Amino acid sequence: MMSSPTPQDAAIRPAWQVYLLVLAAAFALYAATVGRGPAWQDSGMHQLRVLRAEYTNSWGLALAHPLLIAMGQPLRLLGDAYLPTALSVLSGLGMALAVANVYLLGRRLTGRDAPALVAAGMLAISHTAWWLATIAETYCWVTAGLTAELLLLHALLTRPRWTYAAWLGLVNGLGFSLHNFALLPLPVYATVVAVLLIRRRLPWGALPAVIAAWGAGAGLQLGLILHDGFAGGDWGETIRSALFGVLWQDDVLNSSARVLRNGAMYIVLSWPWLALAPVVYGWVLMPRRVGRSVAAAFGAIAAIHVLFAIRYPVPDQFMFLLPGYALLAVGAAVGIDGMLRLRPRWRRAWKAGLAASIILTPVLYAAAPPVLTHMGRSIRPGKSWPCRDENRYWITPWKCGETSGARFAREALTAAADGSVILPSGMATFPLQVLQEAEGFRTDVEIVPLDLESWRTSTGSDPAACRRLVAGRVAYTVDATPLPLSEPLEAATRRRPVGPLLEIEWLADAP
């Protein structure tokens, strides 16, 4: 005879049912609006590396992301031509998991569905979450991992068990194999485990279990680090590469007032407007509502993530704020719960305001690009790439219909002469290479990136070396602003437009 459900079962089952509904709804939104085909920037690089099963690259160990490359390999069974789009769908799945995890966190912290659902919905349609969920990127899965870690951390703090600690170690280790972001909350986790061990709320046998679980999860990245260290013999350089990559140590460790201002602006612009009020209110309420230990741990992780991202001086700074947004959403759930307990008049006002913010936010995303274009304004003044509307690309988060990377690559390779060579910069290199390798399109055209490898060999700044590389073939660069050629190459050549390319003609007195 089956036993009747316990009160705990009755509470948990609806939460998991709603969790699955939130997961399905978020995934449906992202899958319906996903980007298709070869992509620009890091997204194109991820597509190319998955195509090549390339677990290392010349940018350093910090940008290896081996777990992402491994996750992408089964998608190749669909056919390489479908892989670029499939990787974007994979990002959408990661973001949908993060949104569902935020719902479950809000449900556990408040004991109510309504505030948890609203907080999850605000995260789902926030600009950065939606934008990254429709392209091939690491950040959505980073955020899925972080929110899973927060669920385990909450369980560990409220019901200490060594199994929760071990699972926390495993998930964080997997996160390290995906992105260095996993290292940011690690001091908080270590402190929590240490305090629980000292207070004898965890057995000391939990410590080796946690370390082993973390090592198992981090195995892919640790393997690359060990291989690089033993092969190169310079462990200092290996550690720098693992922490910062080849070029980004100064960016990771430095900042400026302008960068801090931009970071704060991204938060305001990305989040549904009135949702920031319950975020602040929620973090004020949290110690009283969820307990000091949970509030302190969650608050420390939120502070680490947000402060790291708003002072990180890189062009794609806004992307690094996504894990912080998930933590803001957790605070928003507590804040919304508090606001729903206000007097009826205030409660109605906040409900109307939040609903308006959530509904109008996508309207703003759709309306802003044509308005700015009509006004002659660009979100990236002085910078443009062929086939790409900069305002549409950066402001509107959904990527359905935004196929500028694929269109550029196909038009450029079609325009190139037989047996020619294209000299693009990193931004434009990846869509060209992805189209070639995914579809076997115009493989007679050689693509030689004028970026990191060129800096190392000086080919990109040495006209004579570049001319030897071209070896008498018709050569092109990309018709972009600013021109991707170095100043010495610009001075030694003139350029003639050919579709989205510029054909390079060497001046008579060029070396």
Does the residue 397 lie in any domain? no
Does the residue 283 lie in any domain? yes
Average pLDDT over residues 55-69: 90
- DSSP for 179-227, written as a single string: -GGGGTTHHHHHHHHHHHHHTTSS-TTHHHHHHHHHHHHTHHHHHHHHH
Does the residue 43 lie in any domain? yes
The answer on 428 and 302 residing in a single domain is no
The answer on 421 and 314 residing in a single domain is no
Position 473 confidence tier, pLDDT thresholds 50, 70, 90: very high
**Identity (one letter) of the amino acid at 141?**
W
Q: Which pLDDT does position 165 carry in this prediction?
A: 97
Show which of 353, 385, 414 is a domain's final residue: 353
Q: Which pLDDT does position 11 carry in this prediction?
A: 45
Does the residue 429 lie in any domain? yes
pLDDT at 259 over 60: no
Residues 399 and 37: their CA atoms lie apart, in Å, by 11
The answer on 146 and 56 residing in a single domain is yes
Q: Which pLDDT does position 453 carry in this prediction?
A: 53
The answer on 429 and 302 residing in a single domain is no
Average pLDDT over residues 368-376: 91
Q: Which pLDDT does position 406 carry in this prediction?
A: 95
Domain count, the chain: 2
Which domain does 427 fall in, by range? 404-506
Residues 449 and 440: their CA atoms lie apart, in Å, by 19
Residues 31 and 285: their CA atoms lie apart, in Å, by 36
Q: Which pLDDT does position 355 carry in this prediction?
A: 80
For 180-203, the pLDDT digits (tens) are 999 999 999 999 999 999 999 999
The answer on 272 and 409 residing in a single domain is no
Residues 400 and 442: their CA atoms lie apart, in Å, by 26
Show which of 353, 374, 393 is a domain's final residue: 353
pLDDT at 302 over 90: yes
Calculated CA dihedral for residues 306, 310, 314, 319, nearest 10 degrees: 50
Calculated CA dihedral for residues 234, 239, 242, 245, nearest 10 degrees: -70
The answer on 233 and 338 residing in a single domain is yes
The answer on 410 and 342 residing in a single domain is no
Residues 67 and 220: their CA atoms lie apart, in Å, by 7
Q: Which pLDDT does position 1 carry in this prediction?
A: 33
Show which of 335, 353, 371 is a domain's final residue: 353
pLDDT at 144 over 80: yes
For 441-458, the pLDDT digits (tens) are 999 999 988 765 554 455
pLDDT at 221 over 50: yes
pLDDT at 371 over 80: yes
Does the residue 396 lie in any domain? no
**pLDDT top residue among 249 and 379:** 379
pLDDT at 480 over 90: no
The answer on 164 and 26 residing in a single domain is yes
Average pLDDT over residues 111-121: 92
Lowest model confidence (mean pLDDT) among 202-206, 326-330, 337-341: 337-341
Q: Which pLDDT does position 342 carry in this prediction?
A: 75
**Identity (one letter) of the amino acid at 503?**
E
Query: Whole-prediction pTM value?
Result: 0.90
* DSSP element (H, E) containing 478: strand 475-478
pLDDT at 254 over 90: no
The answer on 254 and 349 residing in a single domain is yes
Average pLDDT over residues 415-429: 90
The answer on 412 and 338 residing in a single domain is no
Does the residue 369 lie in any domain? no
Does the residue 470 lie in any domain? yes
Does the residue 382 lie in any domain? no
The answer on 198 and 336 residing in a single domain is yes
Residue 440, judged by CB atoms within 10 A of its CB (0-12, 13-18, 19+), counts as: exposed
Q: Alpha helices, DSSP H only, in 375-482?
A: 390-395, 404-415, 426-439, 452-457, 463-470
The strand pairing partners of 27, in sequence order, are: none
For 73-82, the pLDDT digits (tens) are 999 999 999 9
What HEC string does 319-380 produce? HHHHHHHHHHHHHHHHHHHHHCCCCHHHHHHHHHHHHHHHHHHHHHHHHHHHHHHHCCCCCC
The answer on 423 and 279 residing in a single domain is no
